[in-house]
Structure 1
Amino acid sequence: MSADPFKGSEPPVHFIVPGPLETLTGGFIYDRHMVEGLEAAGRLGMVHELEGNFPRAAPYDVAAGAAVLSGLPDRVRCVIDGLALTSLGQAVFQHAPRLDIVAMIHHPLADETGLSEAEQTAFFQAEKAVLQEVARIVVSSRRTAERLADFGVHPSSVHVVEPGIADWVSSVENKPAEGPLRILSVGTMTRRKGHDIALKALAGCRDLDWQFDIVGGARDPVHAAELAALVGELELDDRVSLHGEIPEEDLVHMHAASGLFLSASHHEGFGMALADAVAAGLPVLTTDASAVAAPVREAAQMVPAGEVAVLSETLRGLLQDPAARQELADRSRAAAMKLSDWERAASAFQRAVDGVILQ
């Protein structure tokens, strides 16, 4: 039994997530650690895993999510992941007066890459409306907190809880493999991650010796197929590997063998894969359009998002200059000490959910 006199003194917390909690994306990994922290503290009510393609879920999946809210007793504390929150807007409006609803926003839906102007407007208006109804909002980065001001959210209702570093990172001993420089990118195959930009930029460096490993699930099957086709069109089949989702032990080996971590993302809610790469001591090249952690910004070399030519030129410089890569690796090791861990993050999350001012 815990010696913590406050353990169990606060009400249990229900958590609504838009899919299986074991899903290997940054948002789900974050939610899973928060759930584990609530469970360890004796605070977890129940995890409600919704079915459907949120935030574009079918009406019957939305109805099932609404039924979850309907079934919760009065004054229950409930966290809703942002991917499901907007779809459940009508139910949130109905039940917010009797429930203590907390929104978990990784990044606004309207900021997703590849949306039409009409879709951006629809997501923005829907999210703006529902965020007025929740009791509190937890976000995973300060930049996201600042962004929510555009949604009419008062800063006093927003709590920043940055993610921790993956447990497996401590096992990484970065010793780049001999032969071609291995470049690693970790992120789901969605348009927002900019894998197509990275591929086109690397195609401009085909005269140099490198191999590119992309790790991440095909969350957008259409885009994943486009990426596979692009590899062929660029004649990079023998230099690019699309690994999909891989176990943690393989992530350790890939980080250990890589000489450069690359992210061409158009936007990040925090950039957990980037933070893990910094913590593992890798040189990092990424874009300046992401809401990544301050220590990552200190460590990484940054280029404008979506600019193939600039990224290609920067990659060429790093591929040809071991000293420049070593300088970035040194910056990563220095910045790693400023990153959080999941235990602290889970504790901060519980305080935020309870409405305790964190900063």
Structure 2
Amino acid sequence: MHVVLPGGVDDPSVPSGGNSYDRRVCRELVALGVDVRETAVGGAWPGSGDTTALARSLAAVPDGGVVLLDGLVACGVPDVVVPHAGRLRLVVLVHLPLADETGLAPDVAAALDAAEREVLRAAAAVVGTSPWASRRLVEHHGLDPDRVRTVVPGVDPAPLAPGTDGVSRVLCVASVTPRKGHDVLLDALATVVDVPWTLDCVGPGTAPRHGLGDRVRFTGPLHGEALDRAYAAADLFVLASRAETYGMVVTEALARGIPVVASSVPDALGGGGVLVPPGDVAALAAELRRWFDDERARAALREAARRRRDQLTGWAEAAGSMAEVLVRVRG
């Protein structure tokens, strides 16, 4: 099986849920005995990727070959991808619909949306990373539901996080981009400055301006033991995203039993925390106030997180689901 990934998938300076998913599924497929042949295509996808390298990679695959393409690479360039749909079995993995990225100009979003629709309609199969995402792809792009499959990310088992004092240490793990809603989180926390909370924001990107002083720390990306320590110290995990297809960092927090307040992640949260409307500062502020002021509310969130922790599945199961899709496409 051939896999086409965006360049930088292994670059620790630009971690992302999509990159982590791609890398882990490939590794687990190999463990299942699948012959995986990877190609990473450089450039700033979807706007200015190396289309020449992508075309060359697809042309090198023998007729009838199965190719799993990351949607970030494939969905914006139908002129490169679609001509191969007749001779190859193309499977497109959509982490986030291209037009859903926050801050796009309307004409850019419309062009990306049309390009994505053309690619997905030509593919032999489309993979969404959550039930919600798969339903949206079917409805929005008019896809045949039988060609759309869901492969939910796995999560690694982890020890329960001891936290700090059980209340005050708040953690957010997300790239600092408009879609991740750091502005919403900071505005919500600004309404509860009478409480001695601290916030660690872990992820790449430039810290936004705020008036909360040294109570807020933007650490940049963390990896390995440093990231584990950040999770272990957290009393509450918050993700204020305006849009997500799944939200792997939420399940990583829940795997450690950390209470969660989040938006746009219904499938990842799965009853393991509180879901607030995206972009709603007042709703998030109310939940944060409840967390800081009400011990019974905190206890209920901790219990919900631990129940959800017991329901999470691993990466081997995710890879098994992906293998089923690929076997079906191969015929």
Distance in 2, matches of 1:187 and 1:229, equals 13
State yes or no: 1:22 paired with 2:4. no
2:150 is matched with which residue?
160
Aligned residues: 326
Matched, 1:82 2:37: no
Q: Show structure 1 runs of 5+ residues with no match.
A: 1-12, 219-223
Give secondary structure in 1 for the equivalent of 2:201.
strand
Q: Distance in 1 between matches of 2:152 and 2:192?
A: 35
Following superposition of structure 1 onto structure 2, how do residues 198-277 of structure 1 map, counting pairs within 5 Å?
A: 198-218=185-205, 224=206, 228-231=207-210, 234=211, 236-277=212-253
Gaps of 5+ in 2: none
- Residue of structure 2 equivalent to 1:196: 183
Moved more, 296-305 or 46-55: 296-305
Provide, for residues 235-275 of structure 1, a one-character-per-residue CA deviation record: whole Å limited to 9, x for no partner: x2311111111122122222221111001001111111011
Deviation at 1:213, TM superposition (A): 0.5
In the alignment, the residues of structure 2 paired with residue 36 and residue 72 of structure 1 have an alpha-carbon distance, to the nearest angstrom, of: 21
C-alpha distance in 2 between matches for 1:156 and 1:76 = 21
CA contact (8 A) 2:76 2:116 kept: no
Residues 336 and 180 from structure 1, CA distance in 2 versus in 1: closer, same or farther, beyond 3 angstroms? closer
Whether 2:40 is the aligned partner of 1:49: answer yes
Q: Decide which of 292, 300, 308 is 2:267's aligned counterpart.
A: 292
Task: Indicate conservation of the 8 Å contact 1:62/1:87, yes or no.
Answer: no
Task: Identify the match of residue 121 of structure 1 among 110, 119, 124.
Answer: 110
Kindly state the Cα deviation for residue 180 of structure 1 after the two structures are TM-superposed.
Answer: 7.2
How far apart in 2 are the matches of 1:120 and 1:325?
A: 40
Q: Normalised by the size of structure 1, how large is the TM-score? A: 0.86
Q: What is the RMSD computed on CA atoms of the aligned residues?
A: 1.8
Change (3 A) 1:45 1:304: closer
Name the counterpart of 1:281.
Answer: 257
- Relative to 1, partners in 2 of residues 1:63 and 1:338: Cα closer, same or farther, differing over 3 Å? same
State the Cα distance separating 1:137 from its structure 2 match. Answer: 1.0
In structure 2, the residue matched to 1:351 is 324
Cα distance in 1 between the residues matched to 2:70 and 2:4: 6
Partner of 1:95: 84
Equivalent residue letter for 2:290: G
Q: Percent identity?
A: 35
Q: Report the equivalent of 2:172.
A: 185
Contact 1:200–1:308 (8 Å) recurs in 2: yes
Aligned residue in 2 for 1:35: 26
- Offset of residue 94 of structure 1: 1.2
Contact 1:18–1:51 (8 Å) recurs in 2: yes
Give the structure 2 partner of residue 131 of structure 1.
120
TM normalised by structure 2 equals 0.93
Q: 1:19 to 1:292 in 2, by over 3 A?
A: farther
**Alignment partners' CA distance in 2, 1:56 and 1:122:** 11
Q: What is the alpha-carbon distance in structure 1 between the residues aligned to residue 258 and residue 121 of structure 2? A: 41
Counterpart-to-counterpart distance in 1, 2:167 and 2:120: 49
Letter in 1 for 2:43: G
Return 66-75 or 152-161, whichever deviates more. 66-75
* Preserved CA contact (<8 Å) 2:51 2:80: no
Of 20-29 and 123-132, deviating more is 20-29
Q: Which amino acid aligns with 2:69?
A: I
Decide which of 302, 315, 339 is 2:288's aligned counterpart.
315
